[in-house]
Structure 1
């Protein structure tokens, strides 16, 4: 990388800066909600009925929220890969049983118990290997020590899956149980992936809920599922209040959405803003105080860097992101072909193979031809 490239990347906010670590959290809980677009929260989109996201809006207003946190890649397998490994091209990374450093490998090496709690069928085909389902992928490609999927939850909780996966209430119950029964002094990393807000929208809020009295919500399977998820998240946050002194809970999404009855007004999978809600009683230098909003531009690949750096752990050289406390540029990969960089001032879109572009040369550092 030439000096000119270095200066240009620095001006774009692409060179890594690692602020002072803040000390580890005993528990880190990362919740990736299926297709939860920022535009699905009433706080950010008044066309969503206020009652549908009552708890999400309260969380966003009471803790730290991010207004310009973007999907790095999509659909689901790409988005989850960005959240876990700070990388953009899952197809290039996940060849056979190849494992790239990720939050599970790095945190488990430093004493955390790793749990992947997925609402999907563990045998669902995910990417290149024809026999690779989620269960095998989580074990072989991410190295998670513990994984539970729909069939595991059905057996443990004696509940049948609805729609195309397990109701997220069961995932939240399992997560709360893991925190409640954790050994004194133990450290835990929990990654939850929900599917309520993906068609066919099977979830409904509990009987008597105010959403059911709202005619617009009651007539919409999407809004009913969004409301049901909102209630489950609210109940989960209430249940884990005793642990929040040494627990960080993050609520985000696997990717931005095109579903949801077109509330996003988008017709294609272009990475866009998704929520990032930072739930902790601990104040952190460089992060807004609870009740405030971060407005800097950042993306999914920046979150793994931040979590490791906050904990005082080394950030692998394979990670492509930056600490989101100092980042002000959101990087995405479109259809495995184009690199998109958004800053408050401009948008850059380049072919990943364009050797004349500094962004493509930066990408080539991580994915050599």
Structure 2
């Protein structure tokens, strides 16, 4: 597949899909928040929350249920890429295809834009900094100035890491401490905490058998017990944030996922709808703050995907959105909202009008829409590295 200029026919089909080329420039507003904290869960499907899927026991996710009911959220928010690094690329750089062999130093990102505006950019990972050379790769590709991982947490005195790394309780406690220090110094920041406890094939739970509700501990799926741990650790995190004075008008918390679970195993049994268990699938997106007015224009039931989060956050922070971002600001109306994803040479597209799974290397595309979508993705991939 080679990059080429989009044809008039491509642009017509893309417009019919809601994909405008070029994108309208987003007007800046005054900063609505001083601190944005993203809690990025590992392999968390939207339908692991009982609110969306009643095959998950209600006792497994009561706190997540309460957040969805109380706070702004997106019901049809899709991952844009799989696995973790690619999902983070979509989240931080509003782009679909990541090639680690290509230089990322000068590419736009959520972190680079926030830091250029005087904010701190913090990323904390539960796993080792040496896994996949992330200590070098992530700051180079994504641009965060502060990168912390398992080794940093060990120096802070935390113990109990197992499997992939440290567990949710440790990650959330250190997040609270970093946030307390930042608020005391009036630091503005974008902070990301990436957890691991839902990692496939089987998640972790920090509770004994007797500590879990019967409907959770006796469930045939281990994933249900893992989701219960996720729910309880999030509940503790937000109770502590409230107690420590961190739930204020100038702080926005976001709960989401790095990507949907990989196909296979318990995932395909717990999620029953065929369209929701493809390689690209719905994940949670919940905004939590004492100040919800800036999110009044969020349209809960519109299609959206990971590439839309960075433009939305930069808008809320009063920062210009890079022109090379592929996503849109979720707080501005659009005629045809859509979700867009890429995995394994396939492009995934959802809107109210149509759903496409586009095998991008087909010699002859099945439809003009698939041809235009392939050309659009390759075109933007080429522009990204110019």
TM-score by length of 2: 0.84
8 Å Cα contact 2:34-2:317 kept in structure 1: no
Mean alpha-carbon deviation: is it higher for 169-178 or for 93-102?
A: 93-102
8 Å Cα contact 1:52-1:217 kept in structure 2: no
| SS of equivalent residue, structure 2 residue 382 | coil
Deviation (angstroms), 1:55: 0.9
| SS of equivalent residue, structure 1 residue 231 | helix
Q: Deviations over 1:64-111 (max 9, x none)?
A: 1211000101111211111111111112x6525645211111111111
8 Å Cα contact 1:197-1:225 kept in structure 2: yes
Q: Which runs of 5+ in 1 are unaligned?
A: 126-132
Mean alpha-carbon deviation: is it higher for 310-319 or for 82-91?
A: 310-319
Whether 1:227 aligns to 2:224 is no
User: C-alpha distance in 2, partners of 1:351/1:201?
Assistant: 32
Match of 1:253 among 252, 257, 272: 257
8 Å Cα contact 1:305-1:315 kept in structure 2: yes
Match of 2:116 among 90, 109, 129: 109
User: C-alpha distance in 2, partners of 1:107/1:145?
Assistant: 11
Deviation (angstroms), 1:359: 1.8
Whether 1:321 aligns to 2:327 is yes
How many residue pairs align between the two structures? 355
Q: Which runs of 5+ in 2 are unaligned?
A: 1-5
- C-alpha spacing 1:253/1:363, structure 2 compared with 1 (3 Å): same
Give the RMSD, CA atoms, in angstroms. 2.6
2:44 corresponds to: 36
8 Å Cα contact 2:280-2:348 kept in structure 1: no
1:25 corresponds to: 33
Match of 2:96 among 81, 88, 92: 88
| SS of equivalent residue, structure 1 residue 141 | helix
8 Å Cα contact 1:72-1:300 kept in structure 2: yes
Match of 1:203 among 201, 205, 213: 205
Q: Deviations over 1:189-246 (max 9, x none)?
A: 111111111134232237864x344364576532222111111111111222333311
- C-alpha spacing 1:5/1:187, structure 2 compared with 1 (3 Å): same
1:358 corresponds to: 372
Deviation (angstroms), 1:264: 2.0
1:70 corresponds to: 78
| SS of equivalent residue, structure 2 residue 130 | coil
